């Protein structure tokens, strides 16, 4: 192997490493954004649910 071939192979390996790191960073950012959107959706769903009365599930109306 000549020095030029070794240098070219080294550059290709570094470029592949850089591309993989970029893909991982992009995926992580997308996952973080998706998590934030899901958290916001869950919070809005919790606010949309009606609150049960304070005695809900604690008393039984036997005269009804």
Report pLDDT digits (tens) over 10-53.
Answer: 999 999 999 999 999 999 999 999 999 999 999 998 888 887 66
What pLDDT sits at residue 63? Answer: 76
pTM: 0.60
pLDDT at 55: 66
Long-range pairs for 39-48: beta carbons < 8 A, 24 or more residues apart: none
Query: To 5 degrees, how large is the angle CA 29–CA 31–CA 33?
Result: 70
- For 5, other C-beta atoms within 10 Å of its C-beta total 9
pLDDT given for residue 42 in this prediction: 93
């Amino acid at each position: 192997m000549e020095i030029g071939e070794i240098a070219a192979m080294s550059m290709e390996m570094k470029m592949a490493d850089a591309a993989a790191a970029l893909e991982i960073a992009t995926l992580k950012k997308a996952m973080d954004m998706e998590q934030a959107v899901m958290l916001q959706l869950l919070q809005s769903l919790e606010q949309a649910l009606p609150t049960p009365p304070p005695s809900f599930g604690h008393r039984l109306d036997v005269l009804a």
